[in-house]
Amino acid sequence: MIRERYLNMMVLALLVLVPAYAVLMDEPFTITLATRAVIFALAGVGLNLALGQGGLVSFGHAAYFGMGGYAMGILASHAQNYEPLMEVPFVIEGTNSMPVIWLVAIVASALLALLIGALSLRTTGVYFIMVTLAFGQMFYYFTISWPAYGGEDGLSIYVRNQFPGLNTLDPIQFYGICFVLLLAVLYGVNRLNKSPFGLALNGAHQNEERALTVGINVYRLRLVAFVISGAITGLAGALFADLNRFVSPTMFSWGVSGEIMIFIILGGVARLFGPVVGAAVYIMLEHFLGGLSEYWFIYLGVILLFVVLFAKGGIIGGLSKKETRHAG
């Protein structure tokens, strides 16, 4: 048994060492896998804020993931084809600058989360799960049947977008970008969790009545958390699109929402590094089990079932001592 903090440090060390090793050994695909894990982790960190801290079981976070992806796809495809995004009333050009794309992705998915959250948060429990799922599906079908940006075919962006001073096509440099963003978001979310906002959010999760009776507007509190959560997942979506240089409606599918939830459960709900560990383990399972058998989903299902039924607290919960919440 180790303290959770040390465990987190070890996870971070691995996220540095494994890609470094891959560079030395010239195994770029390992870096690609690590990048994928880091991006999924980021999406999971976003959902974990709503789900873990806030107790808001969103089964539709694919909507923000996809929104981030399409923010990248649309901006970059316009830049690629030299067609302005809109000309009336003023000209907006596409762009292939990552920071601009991130900003747009964050704002767009935050707005979407504001809209969906404002409606969904009127419900609770299973209704909330289902209504968020339904909103996700709504966007899935919309992107499939809307022809402007490729419909089900999606959009291919032939070159990765640019980041000033870096060669983003070099796997390790792109990994670096994603990793630094993950670190920044983890730092921010950690501060957030300890802030009055985080205290209230988790407090309202533990006992809504109590939060209300000390004068906290729980609806607004949750809505803000939901928006931040969606924005983070949206940023992950933009990075994911850049990793694949491709976006498609699949990013909106309910399977993606389920996967993001799986990362959190695997790693440990409401734990800062839960989604990070969960995403990394999921990617490894996918990679190695996929090599084992054509029917590898059976094994994945069994493992998942086992974790849910018997390993409360996920992998981090299993490996670390119980630490008091908000210690310090």
Shorter beta-carbon distance to other proteins: residue 321 or 325: 325
**For other proteins, which stretch binds (CB under 8 A), given 22-30, 84-92, 106-114, 174-182?**
22-30
Tell me the HSE value of 18 on the side-chain side, using a 13 A CA sphere.
19
Q: Which of 53, 59, 226, 277 binds other proteins (CB under 8 A)?
A: 59
User: Where in 67-86 is the site for other proteins (CB under 8 A)?
Assistant: none
Tell me the HSE value of 46 on the side-chain side, using a 13 A CA sphere.
35
Question: Could you give the CA distance from residue 284 to residue 261 in angstroms, rounded to a whole number?
Answer: 17
Rule CB under 8 A: is residue 207 a binding residue for other proteins? yes
Q: Which residues contact 307 (CB under 8 A, 6 or more apart)?
A: 265, 266, 314, 315
To the nearest whole angstrom, how small is the minimum distance from the Cβ of residue 191 to other proteins?
5
Rule CB under 8 A: is residue 318 a binding residue for other proteins? no
User: Where in 146-205 is the site for other proteins (CB under 8 A)?
Assistant: 146-147, 150-154, 156, 158-159, 171, 191-192, 194-200, 202-203
Q: Which of 2, 20, 180, 305 binds other proteins (CB under 8 A)?
A: 305
User: Where in 236-255 is the site for other proteins (CB under 8 A)?
Assistant: 240, 244-246, 248, 250-251, 254-255
User: Where in 108-137 is the site for other proteins (CB under 8 A)?
Assistant: 119-120, 122-127, 129-131, 133-135, 137
Rule CB under 8 A: is residue 261 a binding residue for other proteins? yes
Query: What is the DSSP code (8-state) at residue 252?
Result: G
To the nearest whole angstrom, how small is the minimum distance from the Cβ of residue 159 to other proteins?
8
Question: Could you give the CA distance from residue 73 to residue 248 in angstroms, rounded to a whole number?
Answer: 9
- Amino acid 138 reads M
Rule CB under 8 A: is residue 65 a binding residue for other proteins? no
Shorter beta-carbon distance to other proteins: residue 13 or 145: 145
Q: Which of 100, 172, 300, 311 binds other proteins (CB under 8 A)?
A: 300
Q: Kindly calculate the radius of gyration of the chain based on its CA atoms and give it in whole angstroms.
A: 20
DSSP string, 161-209: PBBTTB-TTSHHHHHHHHHHHHHHHHHHHHHHHHSHHHHHHHHHHH-HH
**For other proteins, which stretch binds (CB under 8 A), given 42-50, 105-113, 172-180, 206-214?**
206-214
To the nearest whole angstrom, how small is the minimum distance from the Cβ of residue 292 to other proteins?
8
Q: Among 281, 283, 192, 176, which Cα is nearest to 239's?
A: 176
Helix, coil or strand: residue 270: coil
Shorter beta-carbon distance to other proteins: residue 87 or 152: 152
Rule CB under 8 A: is residue 23 a binding residue for other proteins? no
Instruction: Show the 3-state SS of 278-300.
Output: HHHHHHHHHHHHHHHCCCHHHHH
